[in-house]
Structure 1
Amino acid sequence: MNYSRREILKLSSLAGLGLTTLPSLFSFSLEESIRQRAIPSSEEKLPIVGLGTWLTFDVGNSSEALKVRRQVLLEMHKLGGKVIDSSPMYGSSEATVGKVSASLDSQNSFFYATKVWTSGKQAGIDQMNGSLKKMRRSTMDLMQIHNLVDWQTHVKTLRAWKETGKIRYWGLTHYVDSAHGTLEKIIRQEKPDFVQFNYSILSRHAEKSLLITCQQNKTAVIINQPYDSGSLFRKVKGQSLPEWSLDYDIKSWGQYFLKFILSHEAITCAIPGTSKPHHVIDNMMAGYGALPDTSGREKMVSYLKSL
């Protein structure tokens, strides 16, 4: 079946209601593709919504949990998603990504990202080789320095690995506002391909200068904690979306929060985490349809603050 954009968005509103029967509704050929943005260092394009795996993919060897995570990746792929972000810090998440993606025909269509999270050159090399093995990759699309741990050491290794083709891109990550200044300094000095940090509709510290610095230095941006660790959903519990949100093809609060983030031109991709197929469908739909302009963004903030 082929659905128009309006019909797709109408269906996506059901995802926000948590209907577990939704995956079957999305087995169709889309008439409109998910929005994409270019990685500045290469001009390769990525879909603007991806998937984080912290907590949500740390499921060990549970066959039932692995089956559900497989469905998450399947639905993400159907709607055009590619970016899967993990870390050795995330328990069994890397191994889970490796297991479930290996069972999909689309295994090699994803953009795999993980991190190094240790001190010392050899320890970093050993950990990164372990991540490649767990995620079942011969080449990692993106290797990041997790929370800037021993970043001076790992930058040298990552540059060398990129030159030999063991990784395609390298980057830096953090998750708190207080690290933004340090990220800016390293971006100017080292010119990473990517930087990942926190940003949301009510946590806008990155707008002060970090996002501008990324644009000026041609650094791709991945956004973590787009829902402020769930606090945004708690704030709007029981509240209705404003009628004008339909102007931006918003059919759920998740899409409201994500579309605010994605409307900033400096942002390459946001990576909300989920373990539920109907939630990943809802998240991915934020990559379709209209995005708010500057006045629309401020209107969204004002409405949220009024609740």
Structure 2
Amino acid sequence: MQYRTFGRTGWQVSTISFGAWAIGGDWGSVSDEESLATLHSALDQGINLFDTADVYGDGRSERLMARLRKERSEPFHIITKAGRRLNPHVASGYNRQNLTAFVERSLKNLNTDCLELVQLHCPPTEVYYTPEVFEVLDDLVRQGKIQYYGVSVEKVEEALKAIEYPQVQSVQIIYNIFRQRPAELFFREAQRRQVAILARVPLASGLLTGKFTPQSSFESSDHRNYNRHGESFDRGETFSGVDYETGLAAVEALRPLVPQGASMAQFALRWILMDQAVTCAIPGAKRPSQVEQNAAAADLPELPAETMQTIRAIYDQYIRAQVHHRW
């Protein structure tokens, strides 16, 4: 495992970290026993940062994290998110009363007195232009309820606006072979301000594992079934906003580039880590074998320049027109 500095916090975190959405249950059925085995395996692989949220399984994911902390003695970081419990999910809901209540609930779920890092959970764009929201977070830091805060965003515009607030420590943004725009401007600005970057949805909801076919099916509880066109939340969260069939075609174009002995998923994760602005990628996993394979991507050799250029050409040919201008 490799490690990079997490912004200005001083944390040294694994370049392959753990996204805990899947173990909450929004990616098909999961058992708590297998989820815990997966989390233990992640620690065994050297992963030391776990990203969860209060809405993942309505707190189920956070509670599993609390169990992991109780069962293991070594130090690791648990970061969570707040805001998506709002219904309706509107900018005005990001107020002192609601944010405080969300933090209090996560403190209880995680069985702790202070949250290490809380991220606003993909709020409406208007929130980033509302300084009062970030003043509330500053107050929660002063009160000792949270140590640091950051944001999880949908759009590059939101990321650029968020890092204008001096205490924003991290930005979580969709970045993968099918979503390359963040590297153009945002990454350089984040580096300049020493802001940590978490690459979320790194495998484009599994498309970049190379395991799907036109006949693949998904459970009714899986967002890859019910949110392909943004029916329930932002379309960009599902397959990175790429049309499923187009994504399959792009994967086939990428397949010959995968290094011998590596999987398509490992190749896709290693591509993300080629940019030093990225602090970590946070793929999800529901089984120990998945997290072991993900973790191994950190130790793959650098991808050759020619391979990087070919990946860009495939993006330009298949993907750019669908996603580049939208997020």
| TM-score clears 0.5 | yes
Question: For residue 14 of structure 1, what is the aligned residue in structure 2?
Answer: none
Counterpart-to-counterpart distance in 2, 1:302 and 1:241: 14
Paired residues for 1:144-163 under 5 Å:
144-149=119-124, 150=127, 152=130, 153-163=132-142
Partner AA of 2:157 in structure 1: G
Amino acid at match of 1:204: Q
3-state SS, counterpart of residue 23 of structure 2? coil
Whole-Å Cα distance in 1 between the matches of residues 38 and 305 of structure 2? 33
Q: Which residue of 2 aligns with 1:221?
A: 197
- 1:254–1:85 Cα change, 3 Å: same
* TM-score normalised to structure 2 length: 0.72
Shift of 1:110: 2.1
Determine which of 59, 65, 73 is the counterpart of 2:31.
65
Whether the 8 Å CA contact 2:21–2:61 is kept in 1: the answer is no
Alpha carbons 1:162, 1:168 under 8 Å: kept: yes
Cα gap change, 1:240 to 1:141, in 2 (>3 Å): same
The equivalent residue for 1:271 is 282
Segments of structure 1 that go 5 or more residues without pairing to the other structure are 1-33
- 2:109: which partner in 1? 134
User: Which residue of structure 1 lines up, in the alignment, with residue 302 of structure 2?
Assistant: 291
Secondary structure (helix, strand or coil) at the match of 1:222 reads strand
Return the alpha-carbon distance in structure 1 between the equivalents of residues 165 and 253 of structure 2: 45
Q: Within the alignment, does 1:261 sit opposite 2:272 as a pair?
A: yes
Structure 2 match to 1:170: 149
The percentage of counterpart residues that share the same residue type is 20
Q: What does 1:230-245 correspond to in 2, within 5 Å?
A: 230-232=206-208, 233=210, 234=212, 235=248, 241-242=255-256, 245=259
Q: What is the rounded CA distance, in whole Å, between the counterparts of 2:34 and 2:190 in structure 1?
A: 36
Equivalent residue pairs, number: 264
User: For the structure 1 residues 96 and 293, does the alpha-carbon distance in structure 2 shift closer, same or farther, using more than 3 Å as the test?
Assistant: farther
Shift of 1:230: 2.3
SS in 1 for 2:308: helix
Q: AA paired with 2:100? A: I
Partner of 1:74: 40
Q: Match for 2:207: what amino acid?
A: S
Report what 2:262 is aligned to: 251
CA contact (8 A) 1:241 1:252 kept: no
When residues 163 and 130 of structure 1 are mapped into structure 2, their CA distance, relative to the original with a 3 A threshold, is same
Provide the TM-score with structure 1 as the length reference: 0.76
Q: 1:269 Cα deviation (Å)?
A: 0.8
Structure 2 vs 1, CA of residues 139 and 257 (structure 1 numbering), >3 Å: closer, same or farther?
A: same
Residue identity opposite 2:279 in structure 1: T
Match of residue 21 from structure 2: 54
In structure 2, relative to structure 1, the CA distance for the partners of 1:134 and 1:38 (3 Å cut) is: same
Q: Deviations over 1:68-118 (max 9, x none)?
A: 011111110011001111112222333442354145224x62211111204
SS in 1 for 2:151: strand
Is the partner of 1:148 in helix, strand or coil?
A: coil
Deviations 1:14-51 (A, max 9, x none): xxxxxxxxxxxxxxxxxxxx111112313321111111
The answer for unaligned runs of 5 or more in structure 2 is: 87-92, 213-247, 319-327
Q: What secondary structure sits across from 2:259 in the alignment?
A: helix
Alignment CA distance shift 1:182-1:95 (3 Å): closer
Following superposition, the deviation at residue 157 of structure 1 comes to 2.5
CA distance 1:138–1:242, shift in 2 (3 Å): same
Which 10-residue stretch deviates more, 263-272 or 88-97? Answer: 88-97
* Root-mean-square deviation over aligned CA pairs: 2.8
- Determine the C-alpha separation between the residues in 2 that align with 1:268 and 1:71: 25
**1:180 Cα shift?**
1.1
Are the aligned partners of 1:145 and 1:154 in contact in 2 as well (CA < 8 Å)?
no
Q: What secondary structure is seen at the aligned counterpart in 1 of 2:68?
A: helix
The CA deviation at 1:133 is 1.0
Equivalent residue number for residue 121 of structure 1:
96
2:4 paired residue number: 37
